[in-house]
Structure 1
Amino acid sequence: MSIAASTLLLPAPDATWRLWKPKATSADHSVDTPAEVQAKGKPFVIGLPATACRSIGLILPNADHAVLEQIIITQLDRRGLKLVGGIDRNFRWHLLSQTASSATVSVDVLVDPFPADLALSQASDYTAALRLQSLPAGQIVITEEQGSLVLAAGYQGKLYHSHIISPSATMALDDMTQEIMLARLALEGDLGESLFSGIVLAGQTWDKILVESLQDSTGMTVRTVPQLPPHADLETQSWPKLLPTVVREAQRSAARRGKLMRAGVLGGLLAVSLAFLAFAYLRSQESHAAQLQSSVDATTAPAAKVRQTADMWKSLAPAIEPRRYPMVLLAEVTKLMPPSGIVIRRFQLKDNEIDIQGEARDAQTAVQFMEDLQKHPVLSRYTWSKPSPNVRDGAAQFRTQGKAQP
């Protein structure tokens, strides 16, 4: 996104801060501390003063971005700056220009330890404050940040290098002249000779005599501006996020707490939903059971009458079913008897039992007759006993009983 879509917090010349919204129609206003903006609960981008963020310009051999980053880490490590890459990076580099043989980059490095009053969990990004401002081309800029004098130089309108030249808002003419000339020599040694032709003093408290004297001592054109305008068209979409370690940890903890809270809320809602479904299912089952009981109660009396009628018809079966008539059964028994060899002495039908007593010429004939009774299509409805015949006086006496199957 563009920096114009963000709320910016920039250091003022004194100990206060400027809150600026690029898309707002009203002018920016001041707050005493960054915590005042934190209390509003909206994310914002913090422009850091030079006391909290160093900006260093480098001219490097041209390479792809991954290799360039490794070269930057090596170069700044030689200068005593410990850089950390990856998602916990403490620096961010900006490619200002690129040719076939070289690349011009500017690196913002967070100071360690990071100031506690600037470690705000609502911050969406950190960067050097001067990187959010438009720097005049070919000019060395002297500006005041949080009571300190900062020297800055831009390249093609963007910040290339900055450092503190005085911890206070005042500085002797000779000391300021020396700092400017040394910086000009170093910067033009990197970027090219005669690149810087003038000096811009940003602020409203510059003494007119100092301005004239500085112009005489440096031989460069000196002019003053009330303040440096914000760089409203600065594109930040490709910038990797730069956050102090304490801020990253605070945001991660807040994200974890948010996930746990959402999980707890979802778990609670799920439990309530399950309880409601269980209650609704129980009520439905109770209602269904009540309906079934009502149906049972309504059919109990008719069912009892049906059972009573069925029992009556069952008891009348021997009298009304032709295959249970005594004469029919006797006729079927007679059909099973061989032409000779068996005499029926007794045939008795009582309720659902048949009692047959007789004599056979031998035991085998008696046993065969009892087996034929069990196989008969009509008589097989009875379960027949098969006791061993009693052989006496050359005849086999037998008795078999048949009980009707249910």
Structure 2
Amino acid sequence: MSKTTENVLLVPGESGWEIWSGPSTAALTLHSATTIDKAGDLTDIPAGDLLLLFPVKAITAVPMRVSSDDDALFADLAALHAERIGLRPDPMAGQLTDHFIIAREPENTALVSVYLRVPGEGDMPPRGPKSFDISARAFPVTGDTLAVWKELGRWVFALFHQGNLVYCQATSVTAASPDEDLAREIRLALMQLGLQGMEIEPTRVVVWTSLEITDTSALAKAFQPTPEVTPRPAPVLPDPLSKLLPADVRAARREARRKQNIMLGVAAVALIYVGIIGWFGYGLWKNNSETQALIKQAQEAAPEGEAYALHMAKWDELADAIELGNSPVEILKNIASCIPPNSGLRLRTADISASEIKLIGEAQQLQSVTTFNLNLTKNQDLSRFEWQNPEPNQSTRGWEFVYTGQLPGAQN
């Protein structure tokens, strides 16, 4: 089973920031409530996916109607509307705008655009959030409702249609209970929405507060529904989450992605390097294994090799007796074939062994002796002998010669 993700929400409370946490599959619980009014001063933020809910005072909400029901056009239409009323977010400050659908009809859609002010010093928590949204979208509301609550010491209000946020605004009112100034600002907001063709008649007025006794008479005079006083509900993850992303967080994420890409590149190179080493190592191991196998085979065959070597040694000892080429008769036959026909050359002595030959002979003509000498040195069957053939001597009977042949390495 996969591990459940722990969500951590930073929520602007009545007098300071609150930290809520819990798994994705369960309701969030209050981790701690502080009196810190700057998110950058928060400490001991638990581990998990961090979501920062910007307070209402950090945004400007702009409701509008557009003559389209094509979601792909909403962003451009919202940007054109913002330019007409003088809202121009700094494009270098990150993603500071988003829009949400209030109600949809054929060729007519009610939207609310949200414009985030550029976060100032200390407005961002010490740990970079994974995502951002606004507090007015994090509290579950049903029907057409006017919700009033305190954020960081100031009263704020939000208008909802069928549970969807229509408009929200922070006021300068810091009184303990909602007063007439707050009621007047809410009435002005409702009038402005009516001029834009977005008639909102709250059927429920709710005041979220932790105080046991809260004076709601100013709201009761201004609005027909009787105000309800209840503790503020636990926040929930807005669905869908906004696309808000301040520049410093976006830059940090880009830097993190850059470092991650570098690490992935280094890891890939290291993996290739390890792979090459492994490949060569496997080759060496394979060669070593083959070598060891051959050595083992050689060791196993060693007794047979020794027996074969002994057999060959004995065969060599008997070679003079059993090989036809070493037979004196065969050698003499080869010598006789070298005598020129009808030359009158004859051998008086022929001492022949397998390794040495000595021939003493004579002939009437010198040419016969010379031809015999040449035939001896060219005979293929006698080529293993090294011949010593000195010049013949002339005698009263013609020409005498003494030729010797010896195998290389044989001793006299």
TM-score, normalised via structure 2 length: 0.70
Q: What is the match of residue 131 of structure 1?
A: 137
Match of 2:47 among 41, 48, 59: 41
Q: What is the match of residue 345 of structure 2?
A: 343
Give 1:143 deviation, angstroms.
2.0
More helix by percentage:
1
Matched ranges for 1:137-286 at <5 A? 137-166=143-172, 168-169=174-175, 173-193=179-199, 195-196=201-202, 199-205=205-211, 211-216=216-221, 218=222, 220-229=224-233, 235-236=239-240, 239=241, 241-251=243-253, 253=255
Does residue 352 of structure 1 match 2:355?
A: yes
Match of 2:113 among 107, 114, 118: 107
C-alpha spacing 1:40/1:385, structure 2 compared with 1 (3 Å): farther
Q: Which one-letter code corresponds to 2:229 in the other structure?
A: V
2: CA distance, partners of 1:367 / 1:65: 118
1: CA distance, partners of 2:242 / 2:400: 115
Q: Which one-letter code corresponds to 2:144 in the other structure?
A: G
C-alpha spacing 1:295/1:347, structure 2 compared with 1 (3 Å): farther
2: CA distance, partners of 1:14 / 1:109: 24
1: CA distance, partners of 2:19 / 2:158: 19
Q: Which one-letter code corresponds to 1:343 in the other structure?
A: L
Give 1:359 deviation, angstroms.
6.2
Q: What is the match of residue 325 of structure 1?
A: 327
C-alpha spacing 1:331/1:68, structure 2 compared with 1 (3 Å): same
Give 1:356 deviation, angstroms.
4.8
Q: Secondary structure at the match of 1:51?
A: helix
Give 1:160 deviation, angstroms.
2.0
Does residue 379 of structure 1 match 2:382?
A: yes
More off after superposition, 291-300 vs 99-108? 291-300
Give 1:37 deviation, angstroms.
7.4
Q: Contact 2:100 / 2:112 at 8 angstroms: preserved in 1?
A: yes
2: CA distance, partners of 1:294 / 1:192: 94
1: CA distance, partners of 2:65 / 2:280: 71
Structure 1: runs of 5 or more not aligned: none
Q: Which one-letter code corresponds to 2:334 in the other structure?
A: E
Q: Which one-letter code corresponds to 2:343 in the other structure?
A: G
Give 1:231 deviation, angstroms.
7.0
1: CA distance, partners of 2:185 / 2:72: 35
1: CA distance, partners of 2:305 / 2:195: 113
Q: Which one-letter code corresponds to 1:108 in the other structure?
A: V
Does residue 72 of structure 1 match 2:78?
A: yes
Q: Contact 2:19 / 2:32 at 8 angstroms: preserved in 1?
A: yes
1: CA distance, partners of 2:349 / 2:78: 123
Give 1:223 deviation, angstroms.
0.5
C-alpha spacing 1:89/1:117, structure 2 compared with 1 (3 Å): closer
Does residue 96 of structure 1 match 2:99?
A: no
State the Cα deviation string for residues 236-267 of structure 1 (Å, max 9, x = none). 3xx46543333344455556666777888999
C-alpha spacing 1:351/1:6, structure 2 compared with 1 (3 Å): same
1: CA distance, partners of 2:76 / 2:393: 118
Q: Contact 1:359 / 1:366 at 8 angstroms: preserved in 2?
A: yes
C-alpha spacing 1:230/1:95, structure 2 compared with 1 (3 Å): farther
Q: What is the match of residue 12 of structure 1?
A: 13
Q: Which one-letter code corresponds to 1:163 in the other structure?
A: Q
1: CA distance, partners of 2:126 / 2:363: 119
Identity across the alignment (%)? 21
2: CA distance, partners of 1:131 / 1:338: 128
State the Cα deviation string for residues 328-375 of structure 1 (Å, max 9, x = none). 311232244343125144665466344556667878866765665567
Give 1:40 deviation, angstroms.
2.0
2: CA distance, partners of 1:115 / 1:246: 11
Give 1:132 deviation, angstroms.
1.2
Give 1:172 deviation, angstroms.
8.8
Q: Secondary structure at the match of 2:227?
A: strand
Q: Contact 2:357 / 2:404 at 8 angstroms: preserved in 1?
A: yes
C-alpha spacing 1:402/1:121, structure 2 compared with 1 (3 Å): farther
Does residue 58 of structure 1 match 2:64?
A: yes
Q: Contact 1:52 / 1:115 at 8 angstroms: preserved in 2?
A: no
C-alpha spacing 1:387/1:138, structure 2 compared with 1 (3 Å): farther
Q: Contact 2:8 / 2:47 at 8 angstroms: preserved in 1?
A: no
